Amino acid sequence: MKNSSIAALFLGAAIIFYACENDIEKIKAFSSPENLPVIEAQNFETLFTDSGQIRYSLKAPKLLRFKNDGKEFIEFPEGMHLVQYDAKQKIISSLTADYAKQFLKDRKWEAKNNVVATNAQGDTLKTEHLFWEEKTGKIYTDDFVKIIRPDQIITGVGFTSDQYIQKWKIKDLKGTIFLAVDNKKKKEEEAPPTTEQNNKTDKPQSFKRPLKFEK
């Protein structure tokens, strides 16, 4: 009986030691410098330029940059807002998401959770998962998508497009809802401003100047 108690005691101690050893290994792996970001920034805001012209603006509450096993990527754990401009500094597309990742070597972006993309015409794409490849200028997803346009709402599964969301295709179309457009209201909104409106001047606004980086 006494031997049985001693054996049970040693067995219990061995189990506890094994469990603690596993926990220690997990802690070591988690706290390893290889798993920690090399750069961390809060309230990040920057501009990407090409030949002196602004092409993209990026804002994110938090930015983390990692270098693991030769792979380098940037993570936006609290979301980001990316805007693309043409040569005349006009917004031609935008992308927001609650989480995003940028793979620097592959020049590829991955956006997740509440992803919203818009084009120059005001069309809006909504999905939960989206990829953007800078090299090919393509965006795509295999998830459910909803495209909202001024006169219709289109839903489906699977989506491919150019990065400006001008030439797009839904793989599995689920349905289209046509919306009534108030042409009278639209004409009033598009009408030129009156003399009284032209004479109004807005107070100058101050903007925080972000850092500029050459692409």
Q: Which CATH number characterizes residue 152's domain?
A: 2.60.450.10
What pLDDT, on a 0 to 100 scale, did the predictor assign at position 207? Answer: 33
Contact between 35 and 29 under an 8 Å Cβ cutoff? The reply is yes
Same-domain status, 133 and 160:
yes
Same-domain status, 100 and 117:
yes
Same-domain status, 5 and 89:
no
Q: Is the pLDDT of residue 31 over 50?
A: no
Same-domain status, 46 and 95:
yes
Q: Which long-range contacts (CB under 8 A, 24 or more apart) does 133-141 make?
A: 133/106, 133/107, 133/108, 133/109, 134/107, 134/108, 134/109, 134/163, 135/106, 135/107, 135/108, 137/162, 137/163, 138/162, 138/163, 139/163, 139/165
Q: Is the pLDDT of residue 30 over 70?
A: no
Same-domain status, 19 and 81:
no
At residue 36 the predicted structure's pLDDT band, cuts being 50, 70 and 90, is confident
What pLDDT, on a 0 to 100 scale, did the predictor assign at position 205? Answer: 35
pLDDT tens for 10-29 read 444 444 444 444 554 444 44
What is the pTM for the complete model shown?
0.68
Residue 206 inside a domain? The answer is: no
Domain that holds residue 26: 1-31
Same-domain status, 99 and 155:
yes
